[in-house]
Amino acid sequence: MFIAPNEQSVKIVALGATAVGKSSILLRAARNEYTDVHQLNIGAIYYRKTVKLQKAEEDIKLELWDTAGQERYNSVTQLYYRNAYVILIVFSMDDVDSLQKAIEWNNVQVEQNSAATRCLVGNKSDICWKCPQAEQYAQDNNLSYFVVSAKQGNGVDQLFQYIAQCCSNLKLRAQPAKVSIVTPKEYKKFCC
């Protein structure tokens, strides 16, 4: 379900409350860009990114899907996280309510998409660099936990190296019989 034909790219989706910085993290990762303007998402868009694995002579192609954080778009967001191989559950390090929202998203994902690799991502570490509650939650729930700043770029490369490594492992494990093809036409259907 995870690998698109020809491109061999893997679907990554960012979820989380509005204004936590989902778009900013993905923009930083895909284009090394950042803006202070909150351009509120109303649907989902995706970026492509190729990650060169540090430990191997291998390029991993990722599709980074950016979703809308406002609650009224939750039902739409569900369309996008289907078939994701890695789910980034993003919160803002300075906003405990957004951590609560991230926990809710994680619970939904455990129920609906248990096969996916889930990472808890604390963004805006330039404002607040430690969140013991998030650390504890990640530990208790066996989640990988990353602290990043989309603004300064800190931690973003490490996050995507980790993701690429997970995807590399997937490719090694992938059995053709278990991979169902997602055609470009289907992608178009999801695109806003």
Ligand X SMILES: Nc1nc2c(ncn2[C@@H]2O[C@H](COP(=O)(O)OP(=O)(O)OP(=O)(O)O)[C@@H](O)[C@H]2O)c(=O)[nH]1
* Residue numbers at the binding site for ligand X (CB under 6 A): 18-24, 35-41, 68-70, 123-124, 126-127, 149-151
| Residue 50 interface partner, choices Mg ion, ligand X, none, CB cut-off 5-8 Å depending on type | none
Residue 179 Cβ, how far from Mg ion at the closest point, in Å? Answer: 30
On whether the CB atoms of residues 89 and 105 are closer than 8 A, the answer is yes
Q: Give whole-number Cα distances, 112 to 25, 39, 48, 142, in Å.
A: 24, 28, 25, 17
Q: Is 77 in the site for Mg ion (CB under 5 A)?
A: no
Residue 31 Cβ, how far from ligand X at the closest point, in Å? Answer: 13
- C-beta nearest to ligand X: residue: 69
Residue 1 Cβ, how far from ligand X at the closest point, in Å? Answer: 25
| Residue 150 interface partner, choices Mg ion, ligand X, none, CB cut-off 5-8 Å depending on type | ligand X
Stretch of residues binding Mg ion (CB under 5 A), selected from 39-47, 78-86, 88-96, 116-124: 39-47
Residues 40 to 69 in contact with Mg ion, rule: CB under 5 A: 41
**Spatial distance between the Cα atoms of 135 and 178, rounded to a whole number of angstroms:** 34
| Residue 18 interface partner, choices Mg ion, ligand X, none, CB cut-off 5-8 Å depending on type | ligand X
